[in-house]
Each structure stands twice: as structure tokens, then as C-alpha cells.
């Protein structure tokens, strides 16, 4: 996945980080808070402040501990909350060959927003399990969307009110009356 950008939810002005799959056809929105959005954006822009932000400090601690962030994985959605882990490898010197040799990966639980903020600072991969992408993604295909909108506009230009009524009646099961659009009651 890659960070496609940050957006604001129009209804409540909550920031959203948008992750796009490699094909560019699906996007997963993850709602975050303003501080998390600031940290992700600072990482994307490579902003260097006089005092490090928390995620810059975390990257410095990884380096100081001779640790490498291999990848982040967003692996589940539980109670409408995305779950993520950091895959960290400790690097030690191989005494016999005098070169670096990675050990087994360590899994560290993280909020997806923190994982993304670290990933953009370290250029590591952002992975998302297919079941999560399938559950939370929205299609992103600007060309196909534009084509659908054009087809709908042509349909609206060509359809008459009488043809629309005939179509609605043809879709009503036998024995039922077509619903009146003015009737606001529910069954």
C-alpha cells in the first residue's frame, strides 16, 4: 500500500489517511485525529524541526538500538478499529564473517496511524492483508468513474418521464402497487 494522501471528512472535519493498493484501483480510508495527520504529513514532507516529533524520536531510537523497521502490516479490523503491527529486525554483527546478519523479526503492536508515520519516515513498506482491503476499500478508478458519470448523464438526457414510469412499473412484482414517491411512510 502507499499513502495516497490525507483528506478531511466533510461531515465532521476529521482527518483521513488514504492508503492505495499497488494497482491503484482500491483505496482504504482510515480516520485519524489531527495530531496523527500532522505527524504523517510531516513524515511525508520530510519536515525537520528544531526538536524532533515523537515519530522522529522513535526512528532515532530504532537506529540507536541497531534496529531496522522492515515493514508495517495492517492486519485486522476489530470493533471498527484497524489493527497494525511493526515488523522490526534487530541487526547484530556476525562474529565469523564480520558482516551484518538480521535475526528473527519482532512484532510490535501499533496504531495504524503511528505505523504509517514511521513507515513514511523510514521508507519501509506498508502492507495490508487482503481481507482488510476487501472489507474496507473503496474503488478508485477515475477513468471508469468518469465513464460511468458520462453514461448516466446521457441516460438522463435521453430518458422521458413516461419511459421512467414504464420502467418502474415493469420492475414492480405482480399484485403489488408501485410505491408512490410522495409517500414517506415505511412498512
- The three-state secondary structure class of 164 is helix
The values of phi and psi at residue 159, to 5°, are: -85, 140
Q: Tell me whether residue 57 is in a domain.
A: yes
C-alpha grid cell, residue 15 = 482527518
Where in the sequence is the domain holding 34, given as residue range(s)?
Answer: 2-139
- Rounded to an integer, the average pLDDT of 166-187 is 54
Q: Tell me whether residue 77 is in a domain.
A: yes
Q: If residue 57 lies in a helix (H) or strand (E), which one and from where to where? A: helix 54-64
> What distance in Å separates the CA atoms of residue 182 and residue 146, rounded to the nearest whole number?
32
42: CATH: 3.10.690.10
pLDDT tens-place string over residues 18-40 = 999 988 888 999 999 999 999 99
pLDDT level of residue 17 (50, 70, 90 thresholds): very high
Cross-strand partners of 73: 85, 127
Can you state the percent helix, strand and coil of the chain, rounding each to 5? 35, 30, 35
User: What per-residue confidence (pLDDT) applies to 74?
Assistant: 97
Are 71 and 87 spatial neighbours (Cβ–Cβ below 8 Å)?
yes
The set of residues, in sequence order, having a beta carbon less than 8 Å from that of 1 and lying 6+ positions away, is 19, 20, 21, 22, 28, 74, 126, 127, 128, 133
Q: Tell me whether residue 158 is in a domain.
A: no
User: What per-residue confidence (pLDDT) applies to 50?
Assistant: 83
Q: Number of structural domains, the chain?
A: 1
pLDDT level of residue 183 (50, 70, 90 thresholds): very low
pLDDT tens-place string over residues 55-94 = 888 999 999 999 999 999 999 999 999 999 999 998 766 5
The set of residues, in sequence order, having a beta carbon less than 8 Å from that of 54 and lying 6+ positions away, is 39
Q: Which of 92, 86, 55, 53 is nearest to 72 (CA)?
A: 86
**What is the full DSSP assignment across 7-27?**
EE-TTT--EEEEEE-TTSSEE
Q: Tell me whether residue 35 is in a domain.
A: yes
The values of phi and psi at residue 61, to 5°, are: -65, -40
Q: Tell me whether residue 43 is in a domain.
A: yes
Q: Which of 184, 158, 174, 178 is nearest to 166 (CA)?
A: 178
Q: Which of 132, 32, 121, 1 is nearest to 69 (CA)?
A: 121
Q: Is the pTM higher than 0.75?
A: no
* pLDDT > 60? residue 116: yes
Q: Tell me whether residue 154 is in a domain.
A: no
Amino acid at each position: 500500500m502507499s499513502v495516497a494522501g490525507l483528506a478531511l471528512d466533510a461531515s465532521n472535519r476529521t482527518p483521513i489517511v488514504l492508503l492505495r493498493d499497488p494497482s491503484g484501483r482500491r483505496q482504504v480510508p482510515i480516520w485519524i485525529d489531527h495530531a496523527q495527520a500532522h505527524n504523517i504529513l510531516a513524515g511525508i514532507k520530510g519536515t525537520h524541526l528544531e526538536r524532533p516529533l515523537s515519530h522522529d524520536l522513535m526512528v532515532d531510537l530504532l537506529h540507536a538500538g541497531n534496529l531496522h523497521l522492515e515493514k508495517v502490516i495492517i492486519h485486522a479490523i476489530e470493533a471498527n478499529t484497524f489493527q497494525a503491527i511493526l515488523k522490526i529486525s534487530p541487526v547484530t554483527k556476525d562474529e565469523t564473517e564480520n558482516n551484518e546478519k538480521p535475526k528473527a523479526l519482532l512484532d510490535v503492536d501499533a496504531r495504524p496511524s503511528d505505523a504509517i508515520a514511521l513507515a513514511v519516515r523510514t521508507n519501509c513498506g506498508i502492507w495490508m492483508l487482503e481481507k482488510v482491503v476487501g472489507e474496507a476499500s473503496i474503488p478508485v478508478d477515475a477513468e471508469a468513474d468518469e465513464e460511468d458519470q458520462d453514461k448516466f448523464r446521457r441516460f438522463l438526457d435521453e430518458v422521458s418521464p413516461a419511459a421512467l414510469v414504464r420502467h418502474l412499473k415493469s420492475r414492480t412484482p405482480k399484485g403489488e402497487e408501485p410505491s408512490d414517491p410522495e409517500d414517506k411512510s415505511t412498512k
